[in-house]
A and B are shown apart, each in its own frame.
Chain A
Amino acid sequence: MAKDKVTRTDDVSIVLCGQAGMGIQTVEGILTRMLKLAGYNIFATKEYMSRVRGGNNSTEIRVSSQPVSAFVDRIDLLIPFNEGAIKHLERRISKDTVVLGETEVIGEEARSGRFKFIEAPLSKIATDIGNKVYSNVVAVGMLAGLLGVDLAGACDYVKQFFSSKAADVAEKNVQAAEAGFRLAKELAPQAGISLSIKPDAGVENQILLSGAEAVGLGAIAGGCNFVSSYPMSPSTAVLVFLARHGQDFGIIAEQAEDEIAAMNMAIGAWYAGARALVTTSGGGFALMVEGLSLAGMLEMPIVIHLAQRPGPATGLPTRTEQADIELALYAGHGEFPRILLAPGTLEQAFHHTAVAFNLADKYQIPVIILTDQYLMDTYYNISAFDLSGVKNEKHIVKTTANYKRYEFTESGISPRGVPGFGEGLVCVDSDEHDIEGHITEDLNVRVKMVNKRLRKLDSAKADVIEPELYPNGKYDNLVVCWGSTYHIVKEALKLLGSGDTSLLHYSQVYPLHPQTADYLGRAKKVVIVEGNATGQFAKLIKLHAGIDIKERILKYSGLSFTVEEVAEGLKKILK
């Protein structure tokens, strides 16, 4: 256990905090892209309240010489835009935190001595330029200056960012950025801030995007041409993304009257030969459950993006959690197979979403992609997605006159026709049915149909995505996690520097990879890290791999794990 902190001069964590509607998102949008273009490695994520104005929202931006992809507790630089910011982030502020703000805004806290306070007159400078609203762009300029970004490049980016606005708006914002830049040069020596983050030549050509965008792009790559959904945080961004690009890619994007309609539309679309997606969160998924069971009975493919947030019921609408794995696994009356994917990185968010359409089509079963608010709202730079390996596998057949939709086969998969493609008739029924799709109460047929449907799960086991082992297969301790915690746990292990501990990350949680018992059985100690209160994946592993994971690091406050929290937790358990 070498060190507890990351070297701070080449990996800085900047946090901006203010009320909803104050333009924190604007700062995040400009700063992350500007810095990325300048060649810095960037990570950004946000936590926000379920309101349109007011409250306290914060965004963390990590800027580093090395790739960074995980949320940290540590705050190196804090820019508070409202009075409540300091209290809101209290737990994460340390003596080493440099707060660049205004006494007028944060009040008494400025003199508390609990952090290093530097008076940065952002709103005064903005007012001098013409309006207090420019404060956030003054902050952008200041941060660019502190990080040593080239001024001309920064101004160009600000100009480009506001290019759709009136000319004077763009001009004023450029002035604001310049003034912030000058302020940084004055404050840096006084604040004792010396950063040595080196631009990385490889970054410029990389892409910077969010989890929601990665899922959206993955859906397009998967041939998605129909999305029907009902808006629900944190899944809405995917619907918005596909609607925005719908005309360019021939995607029907429909906001349904409710999730029930959304699900039934998507199933109807698959029946007619479309590749359809629904995107939702727990409460919306609950309404789709009847339709999920319909897909099971009709043997209709369906891809469901389930972006998790804390429940039960409305829960914490804008927060994160990993507590719907059991819901996704057991949802739907009756017994039918399904696949649950849980991407942990932006690359997986893209590729797994694309492959979800192929898997659903191939096995004619629901494929549920479990993400969460943290992954949806997280950005970092990565190499551009490689489409050369992405295959759009269509599993529909041209029917002949005597076509029968539910022909019995060894694999359980009956060739799937669609109306209008071939001479056959495609008949599907939510009742138990015979091979032609007609209602039956022949109980022998019933048993054969159940067996046929369940056989598809055995077939699907051939395609289970392997869990990722890091750094290698030689370990005494094994840390298991799934979904969005991948980079957080990985960085925690790097921080601990422990050579006898490995990470096993599952990006498909069901069917469980058949070698799970081997992986876990080889370890002297197994720890699971999950964003829920009851260890849902641990329970799934016990059920399907027979291994009881006793050591659990669980979090269900509504915020994502941080690197430090996981490191701390592991340190206690692994000693």
Chain B
Amino acid sequence: MDKNVFDMGQIDIAWCPGCGDYGILNVLKATLAELDIAPENLVMVSGIGQAAKIPHYIKTHFFNGLHGRALSPATAIKAANSSMTVIAESGDGDMYGEGGNHFIHTIRRNPNITNIVHNNMVYGLTKGQASPTSQLGFKTPVQVSGVFLEPFNPLAVAVALDASFVARAFIGDIEQTKEILKKAITHKGYALVDILQPCVTFNRLNTRQWFKEHTYYLEDSHDPHDRIAAFKRAVETDKLPLGIFYINPNKSTFEDNTGIYKEDKRSLFEREPDFARLQTLIDKYRTAG
């Protein structure tokens, strides 16, 4: 499929020139095209922030909801219509800060969705405050003496929760990011892809150059089915490993666990209530209830 099918034509994009978001947008379109996922079979779900505007720049179905809440509607959309490919995509503040509780419990719930997080370690749309992933000592207009909160480690949290797919990418490497995204989207179950990206306006510490110097790829010998090894790699901070940390292929999805698709494959919008059965249930209240 040609990736142009996702193009919006001449539109005004609200991102700063040089922002890593452009790279992610392009990689995502290419990934979807290579996977032959048509715009009408995809739902993009996002929250609020600069990254969360991404659905507006891809021609597809989208639900751009509230700050921090993307994972909840994404879970429900997939559950209500499991034939759709569902991607929940937002920034680090949205997914790990405002949406932290949903991040934890969505991993536990394991819907078959892909969770892409633009991680630039800073708040962009609100102009430069610390994000949950900002590094210690990072100075901002609010964290005036530098960040002293322990940075949130999404990969370690996800592995700790036995997430079914956990990966990290760096948008400076288009090809590898695309390969990781392909595996994440085709994986059955919840898949986290934390994508490191520079913020050219508000993060002068974690620049493109900084990411190049502070990342490396997991060796081919890394076994993504080894949870302990994955956790060890996830807590490395001197240099940040990239690649697929962890896969648990043995988890059933939330949609399957609901049990409602066992005998009836139809999406919820195609169904009608069973009045005959309801009448039987009502009649039970004549005797016992």
Contact = CB atoms under 8 A, between A and B. Distances in A.
A425 B60 contact: yes
Contacts, number: 207
Contacts of A420: 40-41, 81, 83-84, 267, 269
B77 A269 contact: yes
Interface string B56-89: 1001111111100100111111011101100000
A264 B283 contact: no
Contact of A421 (B53, B56, B64, B269): B269
Interface in A435-449: 437-439
Contact of B282 (A256, A272, A384): A384
Interface in B231-283: 258-260, 264, 267-275, 277-279, 281-283
A15 interface: no
A273 B80 CA distance: 7
A266 interface: yes
A301 B242 CA distance: 42
B145 interface: no
A428 B61 CA distance: 8
Contacts of B56: 429, 438-439
A79 to B, nearest CB: 23
B73 A271 contact: yes
Given A33-B289, A221-B278, A257-B102, A252 B79 contact: yes
Nearest to B64: A429
A209 B285 CA distance: 6
Given A261-B72, A265-B72, A430 B66 contact: yes
Contact of B64 (A209, A221, A274, A431): A431
Dominant SS at the A interface?
mixed
Contacts of B14: 439
Q: Which of A272, A387, A427 has the most CB of B within 10 A?
A: A272
Contact of A268 (B72, B258, B271, B273): B72
B126 interface: no
A515 interface: no
Contacts of A265: 72-73, 75-76
B127 interface: no
Interface residues of A, number: 72
A294 B70 CA distance: 12
Contact of A419 (B43, B76, B102): B43
A246 B59 CA distance: 36
A131 interface: no
Interface in B198-245: none
20 contacts: A160-B288, A206-B286, A209-B289, A221-B275, A223-B273, A228-B76, A245-B281, A250-B274, A256-B72, A256-B105, A260-B72, A267-B65, A267-B76, A273-B269, A290-B66, A392-B272, A425-B59, A427-B55, A428-B63, A430-B65
Interface of A: 33, 37, 160, 204-209, 213, 217, 220-226, 228, 245-252, 254, 256-258, 260-262, 264-269, 271-276, 290-291, 294, 298, 384-385, 387, 390, 392, 394, 396, 418-421, 423, 425-431, 437-439
